[in-house]
Amino acid sequence: MLNIVIFGAPGSGKGTQSERVAEKYGLNHISTGDVLRAEIKKGTELGKTAQQFIDFGQLIPDELMIDILSDVLDGLKDSRGVIFDGFPRTIKQAEELKEMLNMRGQEVTIMLDLDVPEEELIERLVNRGKKSGRADDNEETIRKRLDVYHQKTCPLIDWYKKNGKYEHIEGSGDLVKITDEICEVIEKKK
Ligand code: ATP
Ligand code: MG
């Protein structure tokens, strides 16, 4: 069982790299952002609640997010492992993930920190916003999301270092090279 947490600021390439790595190792890719956007599109109650946070660059409350993730995990069958994209985003979420996996006799194998300079993140997200039409990819909300990332999500770096799971990945440059670096690190750990 290979359970990978892919970590990084908004725009660091978590989604892109997750898809490539999931394909290579036959893993389930769970993107909490995608799960929430699907709920918004379907117009569910959960989607309406989520939208109120996402549009302002805020995180969905931990309790709600943890319930959602737990449901998604329960829905997986014959899984060879998971790549967690966008979760955990707070220490509380990391503790709960550890607990949820422990209950299933599993653990996080590795946490990959996709490190990209801030100016590049903003440029990537502003560009993505022009094509994707994602309401949260405008400069004001992007800055808010980066603030939230620094305040609430960055402490996970030390948390995973203490747990012996942390790996740094140089996240700017050629997309294929980044995937290669990720795979090298995975091969060493698995
Ligand atoms: P990228 O995927 O390009 O790195 P991102 O990380 O900002 O960008 P998503 O992961 O798609 O984007 O998340 C979009 C929004 O969904 C977040 O800004 C947040 O409001 C909400 N969200 C997603 N995952 C979580 C989570 N684990 N906890 C709380 N809120 C979340
Ligand atoms: Mg994403």
Please say if 128 is a catalytic residue. yes
Using the CB atoms, write b or e for 111-144: b if 16+ within 10 Å: bbbbebeeeebbebbeeebeeeeeebbeeebbeb
Q: What does the pLDDT profile of the chain (190 residues) look like in tens digits?
A: 999 999 999 999 999 999 999 999 999 999 999 999 999 999 999 999 999 999 999 999 999 999 999 999 999 999 999 999 999 999 999 999 999 999 999 999 999 999 999 999 999 999 999 998 888 999 999 999 999 999 999 999 999 999 999 999 999 999 999 999 999 999 999 8
What are the boundaries of each domain within the chain?
A: 2-189
Answer whether 179 contacts ligand 1 (Cβ < 6 A): no
CATH architecture of 2-189: 3-Layer(aba) Sandwich (3.40)
pLDDT in tens, 59-111: 999 999 999 999 999 999 999 999 999 999 999 999 999 999 999 999 999 99
Cα–Cα distance measured from residue 65 to residue 69, given in angstroms and rounded to the nearest whole number: 6
φ and ψ at 114, to 5 degrees?
A: -80, 105
pTM for the whole structure: 0.96
Answer whether 33 contacts ligand 1 (Cβ < 6 A): yes
Burial class of residue 66 (count of CB atoms within 10 Å of its CB; 0-12, 13-18, 19+): buried
- Amino acid of residue 170: E
Rounded (10°) angle between helices 45-54 and 32-42:
120
Write the CB contacts of 152 (distance below 8 Å, at least 6 apart in sequence). Answer: 59, 89, 90
